Amino acid sequence: MKRRLYQGSDYRRAQTIEELEGIARRRLPHFAFQYIFGGAEDEVTLGWNRKVFESLRFVPNTLVDTSQRSLAVPLLGAQIPMPLVIAPTGFNGLSWPGGDVALARAAAAAGIPFSLSTFSTSRIEDVARAGGRLWLQLYILRNRDIVRDLLTRAAASGFETLVVTTDANVSSGREWDKRSYSAPGKLSLRCRLEALLHPHWVAQILRNGVPQIANVVDFIPPEQRSTARRQLFISSQVQRDIRWDDIREIRGAWKGKLLIKGVLALEDAQRALDLGADGVVLSNHGGRQLETCVSPLEVLPGFVREFGGKMTVIVDSGFRRGGDVVKAMALGAHAVMVGRATLYGVAAAGEPGARHALQILNGEIDRVLGMLGRRSFAEVDEKILFRG
Ligand SMILES: Cc1cc2nc3c(=O)[nH]c(=O)nc-3n(C[C@H](O)[C@H](O)[C@H](O)COP(=O)(O)O)c2cc1C
C-alpha cells in the first residue's frame, strides 16, 4: 500500500522531513523548489545518497534501560546537544525572506552550528545577531579583496569556523537550472508565469525585495548590478583553478577552525591535515555536482580508520531521518551536516519550520538510540550495523 503523506500547508502537522518537503513543494514556485530539490544530470547520485542508507540495517540490543538518553557529542572543542550542523546553502532568501537568519536562529535554539554560504542572501552581521555557533562557508573567489573582507567580517562577528568548499571548481550539470533561466539571472517566461500561481510567495518577494548575494554585492560594479549581470559577475568570480596552495593561503589568513568540504579521497584528507585543517566534510554536495559520485557514507569508514583520531570528520549528503544520522555516527562520523532537511523546513514556514525540522530529526535520533539499547553516542559503534 502506498504511504499517505500529509498534503496540507501547516508545518506543525508535518511528521517527517519528507512531509516538510511536500509543504515546500506546494508553497514555492517550481523553479525555486527545483533549485533546492534537484541534483546533477540524471540525479543518480541524488537518489543513491538516500538508497545507500538502506544497505545498512540496525542490530539492537534488548533489555537495556535506555530511559535516560543524551544525544550530546563533542565537536571542535565544545559539546553540542545532538550531532547535527546546518550545511551551507546559497540563495536561502528564495525559500524565505531572511532565510539565513531564520536557519541560524533555529540552529542557535537547538544549540548546533549553522554554516552561512558565501552566496547567502543575508549579511554576516545580521546572521551574527542570531547568536549560537556560526560557521562561514567560503568559495574561493578570484578577487581576494572580497575573500579578505568576508574573513575579516566573519572573525569580527564571532564566526568560529571556516568551511572551504572545494567541489565546485566546475559549474555543475544541473540541467533543470538551465531550463529555468533563458539567460543567466533571467527567469524564463514559463517560470515567471508559473510563479504567479504562488501569489503568497510572490508577495513575500515583492515586500522584501529580490534576494541579493548580500556579502558580495558591494563589490559588484554598479553597472553590473542588474539581476542578470550580477549572476555573470558572481560566476566569473568563483576561482575555477583552486589548488592546495589556495588552502595554504586561506589557512594563513584565518585564525579560527578550518574545515575542507567536498573531500572524498583519503589522500586529500592527508593533504588537508598537512596544511593545518582541523577537519574535513565528506560530501558530494548533496548530489548536485559530480554525477554517479560515491556517497560519503561509503567512504566514511576508511576516513575514520585513518584520520578519526587526528581530525574532525563530518559527513553530509542525503540525510533525512534520525536513523540515517545514527548510522553515520556508528561508522565513526563526528557529526552530520544537513542541507535540504532544514531548508525544506525554512521553505515551508520560515524559522518555525526550520525549528520543526530540527525537532523532527532530534526526536527520531533519540527514538532510534533508545530502541538500539543505547543511552548515548559513546555507546554507539559499528556493532549496531548489519551490512547486506
Ligand atoms: C539549495 C542548495 C544550495 C547549496 N549551496 C551550497 C553553497 O552555497 N555552498 C556549499 O558549500 N554547499 C552548498 N550546497 C551543498 C550543501 O552544503 C550540502 O553539501 C548538501 O546540501 C548536503 O546534502 P543534503 O541536501 O542531501 O543534506 C547546497 C545545497 C543545496 C541543496
pLDDT for 177 equals 85
Is residue 281 in contact with ligand 1, taking CB distance under 6 Å?
Answer: no
Q: Is residue 345 in a domain?
A: yes
Its pTM stands at: 0.98
In angstroms, what is the span from residue 203 Cα to ligand 1's centroid? 26
pLDDT for 241 equals 93
| Phi and psi angles of residue 211, each rounded to the nearest 5 degrees, phi first | -60, 140
Q: Is residue 42 in a domain?
A: yes
Is residue 344 in contact with ligand 1, taking CB distance under 6 Å?
Answer: no
In angstroms, what is the span from residue 370 Cα to ligand 1's centroid? 30
Q: Is residue 17 in a domain?
A: yes
User: Which residues make beta-bridge pairs with 256?
Assistant: none
Q: Is residue 30 in a domain?
A: yes
The C-alpha cell at 42 is 540524471
pLDDT for 185 equals 81
Question: Which atom of ligand 1 is least distant from the CA of 283?
Answer: 19
Question: Which atom of ligand 1 is least distant from the CA of 36?
Answer: 1
pLDDT for 1 equals 82
Residues for the chain: how many in total?
Answer: 388
Q: Cα(196)–Cα(311) distance, rounded to whole angstroms?
A: 49
Q: Whose CA is nearest to atom 2 of ligand 1?
A: 89
| Structural domain of 112 | 11-137+236-241+316-387
Could you say which of 30, 200, 285, 334 is catalytic? 285
Number of structural domains the chain divides into = 1
Is residue 36 in contact with ligand 1, taking CB distance under 6 Å?
Answer: yes
Find, among 130, 98, 137, the residue nearest to 112 by Cα. Answer: 130
Is residue 92 in contact with ligand 1, taking CB distance under 6 Å?
Answer: no
pLDDT for 144 equals 96
Q: Is residue 263 in a domain?
A: no
Q: Whose CA is nearest to atom 11 of ligand 1?
A: 165
**Which residue bears the cell 541524488?**
46
CB 364 within 8 A of CB 312: no
Q: Is residue 142 in a domain?
A: no
pLDDT for 11 equals 98
CATH for 107:
3.20.20.70
In angstroms, what is the span from residue 31 Cα to ligand 1's centroid? 17
Q: Whose CA is nearest to atom 10 of ligand 1?
A: 88
pLDDT for 186 equals 87
Residues of the chain under the 50 pLDDT cut: none
Query: Which of 43, 288, 316 gets mutated to test ligand 1 (max ligand atoms within 8 A of its CB)?
Result: 288
Residue 285 a catalytic site member = yes
CA dihedral 152, 157, 163, 164 (to 10 degrees): -20
Q: Is residue 90 in a domain?
A: yes
In angstroms, what is the span from residue 147 Cα to ligand 1's centroid? 20
Q: Is residue 362 in a domain?
A: yes
Question: Which atom of ligand 1 is least distant from the CA of 88?
Answer: 17
Find, among 337, 345, 385, the residue nearest to 52 by Cα. Answer: 385
Query: Which of 89, 103, 261, 281 gets mutated to test ligand 1 (max ligand atoms within 8 A of its CB)?
Result: 89
Q: Whose CA is nearest to atom 20 of ligand 1?
A: 286
Is residue 296 in contact with ligand 1, taking CB distance under 6 Å?
Answer: no
Q: Cα(92)–Cα(127) distance, rounded to whole angstroms?
A: 12
pLDDT for 329 equals 98
pLDDT for 51 equals 98
In angstroms, what is the span from residue 289 Cα to ligand 1's centroid? 10
**Which residue bears the cell 530502541?**
371
| Strand (E) or helix (H) holding 47 | helix 44-51
Q: Whose CA is nearest to atom 4 of ligand 1?
A: 89
User: SS3 sequence, 4-33?
Assistant: CCCCCCCHHHCCCHHHHHHHHHHHCCHHHH
